[in-house]
Amino acid sequence: MRSRLFKPTLIWLQGVTCNGNTHSFLNLPYLPQLLARFEILYHPLLPCSQNLEEIARCRRGCDVLVFEGAFDPMMERAGVTLERLVAYYAEEAGHVIAAGSCASFGGIFKAAAPERNSGLAYAGEHPDGPLLGKAGKVINLSGCPVHPEWLGFALMNIAEGRPISVDALGRPTALYRHMAHDGCLRNEYFEWKVDAEQFGRKEGCLFYEHGCRGPLTHASCNRTLWNGVSSKMRVGTPCFGCTEPDFPRRNLFETKTNMSIPEEVPVGVSKRAYLTMTGIAKSFKIKRLEERLTDDD
Ligand code: SF4
């Protein structure tokens, strides 16, 4: 463990982005305490010791590089290409964090212009991007946007000098080993195959008709709630699978089916096992699960 007197230097650069990850980060409940553990050389919104022009001169390295947005090699910041900036600071940094799905896998901007945009070390699930040769240094915190607590987890571990183990796509296993389905309050409806009648209601599961990717998505949104209180499924909208490299997909609110059977079944479950289980579950009618939980519309 590191001495608390040591403050790693941090630079936060942006590629092609909507700023969503920065805004998510600003919602971290313990942001002031976390920032106090770093010397922030540059961040586009937070107080920092250098401006973008100074950063673009590439005269001083950093311990941690956080990158937000998709990587477009020709895009410029203060007259310098992202290609040059990322190459310089990633070389110097001990840790590189790809904050969000665009920085991790290319995300929405790669889908819009795949010939230009990628993540730092992946384009979708394929190794690619400017840090392809340094993929072991890149921690992918996918999500659209990244959950503030996940960023807090990674940065606090770096500040403390603790190692972060990652999965095959560079995502911390402590955060992405579970499925988004894990901890969802609708699990009983999933088990007994009771559909949600409409979006926004508390009752029913959104998997069968409404496109929920919870059982197919590695994320801990229902274990570490957003703002400590909620998740998409808790407010009655489906998980869009935004932490996976194939995000975004089309028809986010629909479950693709073939003869009423979902084309994709939960990760690790064979289609045969799925059909057997759901066939049995559907043969029971559980009145309690068909009733409204509240009187609200
Ligand atoms: S709504 Fe989604 S995450 Fe929740 S139980 Fe159904 S499939 Fe799982």
pLDDT tens by residue, 133-172: 988 999 999 999 999 999 999 999 999 999 999 999 999 9
Task: Say how many Å lie between the CA of residue 218 and the centre of ligand 1.
Answer: 13
Catalogue all structural domains in the chain, each as residue range(s) with its CATH number: 9-176 (3.40.50.700), 178-291 (4.10.480.10)
186 lines ligand 1 (CB under 6 A): yes
Nearest residue to 97 (alpha-carbon basis) of 32, 27, 171, 25: 171
**pLDDT tens digits, one per residue of 27-85:** 999 999 999 999 999 999 999 999 999 999 999 999 999 999 999 999 999 999 999 99
What tokens appear for 142 in the block?
């996918």
Element (H, E) at 11: strand 9-14
Could you identify the atom of ligand 1 that is nearest to the CA of residue 222? 3
**16: β partners:** 70
**218: β partners:** 179
Separation of alpha carbons 209 and 197, rounded Å? 9
Is the predicted pLDDT of residue 297 greater than 90, yes or no? no
Residue 276: the pLDDT is 93
Residue 235: the pLDDT is 96
**47: preceding bond cis by omega (within 30 degrees):** no
Task: Say how many Å lie between the CA of residue 181 and the centre of ligand 1.
Answer: 5
Separation of alpha carbons 106 and 72, rounded Å? 10
Nearest CA to ligand 1 atom 6: 205
Mean pLDDT of the chain, nearest integer: 95
Are the CB atoms for 1 and 56 separated by under 8 Å? no
Model confidence at 282, pLDDT cuts 50, 70, 90, reads confident
Question: Percent of the chain having pLDDT more than 90?
Answer: 90
Separation of alpha carbons 168 and 175, rounded Å? 13
Cα-only R_g, the chain: 21
Is the predicted pLDDT of residue 296 greater than 80, yes or no? no
AA letter at 54: E
Alpha helix ranges (H) inside 57-191:
82-92, 101-105, 107-112, 148-160, 173-176, 187-191
196 lines ligand 1 (CB under 6 A): no
